[in-house]
Chain A
C-alpha cells in the first residue's frame, strides 16, 4: 500500500513538473514578440549562440563527412556502386546527421552555456534585481535567447551538412578518385530540395526550439547554488539529447512515411 502511495506521489510530481515546463514554454512563446521588437538583443544572442558555436559545428561536420565518405566507399565498392556515394552521403547528412548531430553539439555547446548563464544570473540575484526594476525577465533575458537559438540552429545544421558534403568530396573525389561528375550529378538528380533539404531544415528548427527551451528552463528553475547550476547544466544535455533523438524518430516517420 505504501509503495502504491509512493508511486502515485511520484507520478503526481512528474505530472506537476511537466505542467510547470509546459507553462514555462507557453510564457516563453508569449514573450517572443516583445523580444523581436528589440532585435538588437536577439542579434547579440545569435552571435553568442550561433557564431560562437561555428568552430565545433564546422569541425564536426567536416570530420563526419570524411568518415561517412570513407565508410560508404568501403561498403559500395564491393557492389560496384561507388557512383551512388555522393547521393548517400548527401541524403544521410541533410535528412538525419546534419540536424541531429548539429542539435546534439548545439545542446552541448550552446545549451549548457545558456543554462549556466541563466542559473548564475539567478544565483547572483541578477534575475531578482531585474524583476525588482520592473523588468520582465522573460522578455528581456529569456525570449531573446530563445529566438537566438531558434534562428541559429537551422543555420548551424545547414552549415554542418554543407561542410560534411565538402568533406566527403575531399575524401571521395580528391583522395580515393571517385568521379567528380558522378559525385555531384547524382545529388542534383536525386536530392529533392523540399522533401530532403527542406525537411532537414524543419527538423533542425524543431530541435533548436527543444534545445533552447530546455536549456532556458533548466537555468531558470535551477536552485541558486553551485551544485544546483552544475546539476541543471547536466540535465540540459541529457534532456535535450534524449528529446532530440525521440523527436527525430517521430519527425522522420511523419516526413518520410511515403516513398
Chain B
C-alpha cells in the first residue's frame, strides 16, 4: 500500500505547480494508516543547563499521518522539542515515545534505527558546504542504500525538482541564496521518504512564491507518503493553512492552546488571538523579564544623578 501511495506521490512531486502558491487551503486528505499517535511527549522537562529550564513538564502527542504545527514565540522551546524527538538532546525528566518506543539518547543503536525513520529540516539548513547541491541531497541516499548511480541521480533530481531546484543541482552551496539553501535542505530531508519529517522553520528566508510552494509541498508529501509532519514555525497563516492540528506554545513549553486550525482561528481567548494574529501587545510579553526601565537608566526616584 505504501508503495502505491509513494508512486502516486512521486507523479505529483515531479511536476509541482508554482501557480498553486495561493492554494494554501489545499484539501487535507491525510491518509491514516493507524489512528494511534506516532509521538508522545510524556511530562518532559529539559534545560541546556541547570539554571535555565527550556521545557517544563510538557505533555503532548502527535497524530500519525497528520501535519502538526507548533507555533510560539522565539525561545519557547519549539526547536528543543524537535531535538528531543530526534534524540539529539536528552530529557532531564519524562519520556519521549516514538511509535511506542521510548527514545533513549544514550542508546546509539536505537537512535540510529529510529532516525532512519525520521527526516529533519534544520533551522539554518545545515547543508554540507564542501558538497554540491546534488551531492547534499544524494548524501543520505548514498549512506543508507546501495542503489546504482543512475538511480541515485534520478532520485536526487526528483527531489530537487519537487523544490524547484533541478536546474541548480550542479551549484556549490556557496553559490546558492539563503532561500535556495533551505529548499535544498528540504529536498535532503525528504530524500529517503521518512515516516516522520520534522521541519524547523521551513518558511524562514523564503520568498512568497517559494513559501507557498514549500507549504504545499509539506502537505502533499505528508499525504502522499502517509508520513507524519511536525512543523515548527512563526508563519501562522501558512501553518494554519496546511495543518491538521496546531499547538500554540509559550515560554518553558507551556501549551497555550491546541486544536484544529479553525478552532484556534475562531478562538476568543486573548492569548490565542495574540498568537494567531501576531499582535505585539497582549498576555504574551515581547520583553524578556527585566527590572523597570527607569532603574536601568538611573531615572528612578532616589537614584544617583
Contacts and interface: CB of A to CB of B under 8 A. Distances in A.
Given A132-B88, A132-B120, A134-B112, A125 B143 contact: no
Nearest to A135: B143
Contact of B122 (A128, A134, A136): A128
A140 B118 CA distance: 19
Given A128-B88, A140-B143, A134 B116 contact: yes
B253 interface: no
Interface in A115-132: 124-126, 128-129, 131-132
A250 interface: no
Interface in B99-118: 108, 111-113, 115-116, 118
B26 interface: no
Interface string A123-157: 01110110111111000100000000000000000
A134 to B, nearest CB: 4
A134 B88 CA distance: 11
Contacts of A136: 108, 112
Given A129-B120, A131-B88, A132-B86, A124 B126 contact: yes
Contacts of B111: 131, 134
Interface in B102-158: 108, 111-113, 115-116, 118-120, 122-124, 126-129, 139-140, 143-144
Given A125-B124, A140-B143, A132 B129 contact: no
Contacts of B112: 134, 136
Among B113, B122, B126, B143, which residue has the most Cβ atoms of chain A within 10 A? Answer: B126
A125 B139 contact: no
Interface in A217-247: none
A125 B122 contact: yes
B54 to A, nearest CB: 16
A132 B124 contact: no
Nearest to B113: A134
Contacts of A126: 126-129
A162 B10 CA distance: 60
A66 B33 CA distance: 76
Contact of A124 (B86, B119, B120, B124): B124
11 contacts: A125-B122, A125-B126, A128-B83, A129-B126, A129-B128, A132-B86, A132-B118, A133-B115, A134-B144, A136-B108, A140-B143
Contacts of B128: 126, 129
Nearest to A129: B126
A126 B185 CA distance: 11
Contacts of A135: 140, 143
Contacts of B139: 133
A226 to B, nearest CB: 15
Given A132-B119, A134-B143, A136-B108, 7 more contacts: A125-B124, A125-B126, A129-B126, A131-B115, A132-B118, A133-B144, A134-B116
A140 B113 CA distance: 17
B115 A128 contact: no
A132 B123 CA distance: 13
A132 B143 contact: no
A129 B127 CA distance: 8
Contacts of B118: 132
A134 B112 CA distance: 5
A134 B142 CA distance: 12
Contact of A134 (B83, B115, B129): B115
Contacts of B116: 134
A237 to B, nearest CB: 23
Contacts of A128: 83, 88, 122, 126
Among A134, A136, A140, which residue has the most Cβ atoms of chain B within 10 A? Answer: A134
A47 to B, nearest CB: 13
Closest 6 CB pairs of A and B: A129-B126, A125-B126, A134-B115, A134-B116, A132-B120, A133-B140
Contacts of A133: 115, 119, 139-140, 143-144
Contacts of A125: 122-124, 126
A224 B126 CA distance: 13
